């Protein structure tokens, strides 16, 4: 049976970053990256809806070891995908990736101190007889090129399992059960599965939702559609941001690329954290600021009061970004509008609202959110028993009580994903080197006393609240507290005393965390 020191799950932004850190900080360790899809990029390869882009600046969403060189600070999805692919190619990480390989099971053996990872792989039928250690051929289907493909199940083993698959369900988005949907005479699409051949030019489009996806879609669709309406149940805080960073442009013009990247990255980290702290500590002042910004671009105070002044405070839910105020400009230019109301039901010509108004539409986009999925759908088992994830605690935002030699990459909710992602990968390498130095075959985090539960993701957004109870918990104190502050984490994560809360894993360690 094939064996690796480390198995990384996912070849997106986090997985490629993990590969770089493993190569540079644990060069003696063998590793493989298992990717369920057929391409590098993760979320940035999956999402192909019009205008898809980052809502974080690329100087912090990009890797610290590979300077961002493109002109735009807020980049489109294609550019981000190319950046990830180029990084994998430059550092030969792509050689470590196995595409079309979905992890469907992970079983830890305390006796052997290793994981048995079960995967499903897609192979051409002609290759089946040449493959060893195939447990089961599940189905055979024709491919677009006429060849036939088979999904095979097989196993491999590893010493350490690192999930970099994010926390979104790639197979299904969230769509409420809309009454009368079958009666609608137009086209309904979810952004997560955007049809390549969808023609919305000169058509009436209704986008249901008011989150980051909707705020991205509206100005993009408005360029070609006859008209776009964003239908929201309640307002969302939306802030205009520069599409290009003028200070960054000046710094890049006079400093070497790596030096400029570090300076710009530090500047943007400080600014992002400063805005977040301002919003949480002075919510009324933050409300006035964002209201003023919206009014500056819309030139209509009543419109802002009715449709852009949420009941919650800024950063109680994620703040949406509008690069170069494109969202506000589309509304002010008459190509788009916003309606705040509830859906009564779908009707043949569009959507009937509770107010009695009918929004006529040819195309309805259900930008109603994503589904969360812990560890990319992996349900870890320890010595034959599935670990109850909701009863566990997360250590340093990375490792999980009750699960030896396992880590998960979870980014920040208030800043770029990669900031914590890279810290987590460096921490994993520190743990691996610690194990080698101590001669430990396995370690597991163990609380030093009781912990009071805190949510792993501290936002009240609907997509989080629907599923967060299925995830491990954070604790009330370090190192179990999952902070949303990169500066504090950067100063403490790599200095943590691993001997204090990481223990050599024994069979009895694979239980639950201490809680109160």
Q: What is the mean pLDDT of residues 229-252?
A: 96
Q: Is residue 321 part of a domain?
A: yes
Q: Give the pLDDT confidence score for residue 146 in this predicted structure.
A: 53
Read off the pLDDT band of 515 (50, 70, 90): low
**Digit-coded pLDDT (tens) for 372-414:** 888 888 999 999 999 999 999 999 999 999 999 999 999 998 8
Q: Give the pLDDT confidence score for residue 137 in this predicted structure.
A: 45
Q: What is the mean pLDDT of the chain?
A: 91
Q: Is residue 203 part of a domain?
A: yes
Same domain, 322 and 395: no
Q: Is residue 242 part of a domain?
A: yes
Q: Is residue 417 part of a domain?
A: yes
Burial 494-512 (b: 16+ CB within 10 A, else e): eebebeebbbebeeebbbe
Read off the pLDDT band of 513 (50, 70, 90): low
Same domain, 249 and 316: yes
Q: Is residue 126 part of a domain?
A: no
Q: Is residue 131 part of a domain?
A: no
**Residues forming a β-bridge with 345:** 352
Same domain, 193 and 269: yes
Tokens standing for residue 233:
């149940």
**Final residue of a structural domain among 348, 368, 388:** 368
Same domain, 199 and 348: yes
Same domain, 354 and 483: no
d(CA 422, CA 428): 10
**Digit-coded pLDDT (tens) for 160-187:** 999 999 888 888 888 889 999 999 999 9
How many domains are there within the chain?
2
| Residue that the structure tokens 């698959």 belong to | 165
Q: Is residue 88 part of a domain?
A: yes
Tokens standing for residue 227:
């008209």
**Final residue of a structural domain among 340, 368, 396:** 368
Range of the domain at 400: 3-121+153-169+371-509
CATH at 288: 3.50.50.60
Q: Give the pLDDT confidence score for residue 170 in this predicted structure.
A: 80
Same domain, 397 and 337: no
**Final residue of a structural domain among 350, 368, 386:** 368
Same domain, 329 and 475: no
What would you report as the CA-atom Rg of the chain, rounded to the nearest whole angstrom?
24
Same domain, 304 and 211: yes
Q: Is residue 139 part of a domain?
A: no
Read off the pLDDT band of 248 (50, 70, 90): very high
d(CA 58, CA 83): 10
Top pLDDT among 175 and 76 is at 76
Same domain, 364 and 376: no
**Digit-coded pLDDT (tens) for 423-464:** 999 999 999 999 999 999 999 999 988 999 998 877 767 767
Name the 3-class secondary structure at 436: helix
**High-pLDDT (> 90) share of the chain, %:** 81
pLDDT at residue 201 greater than cutoff 90? yes
Same domain, 413 and 349: no
Given a contact cutoff of 8 angstroms between Cβ atoms, the answer to whether 372 and 463 are in contact is yes
Q: Give the pLDDT confidence score for residue 511 in this predicted structure.
A: 47
Same domain, 361 and 472: no
pTM of the model: 0.90
Same domain, 182 and 309: yes
């Amino acid at each position: 049976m094939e064996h690796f020191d480390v198995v990384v799950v996912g070849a997106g932004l986090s997985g490629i970053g993990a590969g770089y850190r493993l190569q540079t900080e644990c060069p003696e360790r063998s590793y493989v990256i298992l990717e369920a899809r057929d391409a590098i990029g993760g979320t940035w390869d999956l999402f192909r809806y019009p205008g898809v882009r980052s809502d974080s600046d690329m100087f912090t969403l990009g890797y610290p070891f590979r300077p961002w060189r493109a002109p735009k600070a807020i980049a489109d999805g294609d550019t981000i995908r190319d950046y990830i692919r180029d990084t994998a190619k430059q550092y030969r990480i792509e050689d470590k990736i196995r595409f079309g390989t979905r992890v469907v099971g992970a079983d830890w053996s305390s006796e052997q101190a290793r994981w048995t990872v079960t995967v499903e792989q897609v192979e051409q039928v002609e290759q089946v007889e040449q493959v060893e250690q195939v447990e089961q051929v599940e189905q055979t289907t024709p491919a677009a090129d006429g060849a036939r493909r088979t999904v095979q199940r097989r196993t491999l083993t590893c010493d350490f399992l690192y999930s970099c698959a994010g926390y979104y369900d790639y197979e299904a988005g969230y769509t409420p059960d809309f009454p009368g949907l079958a009666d609608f005479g137009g086209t309904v699409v979810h952004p997560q599965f955007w049809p390549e051949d969808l023609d919305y030019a000169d058509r009436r489009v209704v986008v249901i939702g008011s989150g980051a996806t909707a705020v991205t879609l509206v100005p993009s669709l408005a360029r070609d559609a006859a008209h776009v309406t964003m239908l929201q149940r309640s307002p969302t805080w939306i802030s205009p941001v520069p599409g290009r960073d003028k200070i960054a442009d000046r710094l890049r013009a006079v400093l070497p690329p790596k030096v400029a990247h570090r300076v710009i990255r530090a500047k943007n980290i400080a600014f992002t954290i400063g805005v977040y702290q301002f919003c949480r500590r002075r919510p009324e002042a933050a409300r006035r600021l964002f209201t003023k910004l919206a009014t500056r671009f819309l030139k209509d105070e009543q419109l802002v009061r009715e449709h852009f002044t949420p009941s919650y405070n800024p950063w109680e839910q994620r703040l949406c970004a509008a690069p170069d105020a494109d969202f506000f400009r589309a509304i002010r230019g008459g190509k788009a509008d916003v309606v705040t109301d509830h859906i009564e039901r779908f009707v043949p010509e569009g959507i009937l609202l509770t107010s009695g108004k009918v929004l006529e539409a040819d195309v309805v986009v259900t930008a109603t959110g994503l589904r969360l999925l812990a560890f990319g759908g992996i349900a870890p088992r320890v010595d034959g028993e599935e670990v109850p994830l909701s009863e566990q605690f997360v250590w340093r935002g990375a490792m999980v009580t009750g699960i030896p030699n396992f880590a998960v990459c979870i980014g920040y909710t208030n800043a770029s994903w990669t900031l914590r992602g890279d810290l987590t990968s460096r921490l994993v390498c520190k743990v691996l080197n610690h194990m080698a130095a101590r001669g430990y075959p396995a370690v597991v985090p163990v609380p030093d006393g009781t912990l009071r539960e805190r949510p792993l993701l501290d936002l009240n957004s609907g997509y989080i609240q629907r599923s967060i109870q299925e995830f491990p918990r954070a604790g009330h104190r370090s190192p179990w507290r999952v902070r949303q502050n990169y500066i504090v984490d950067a100063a403490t994560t790599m200095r943590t005393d691993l001997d204090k809360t990481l223990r050599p894993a024994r069979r009895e360690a694979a239980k639950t965390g201490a809680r109160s």
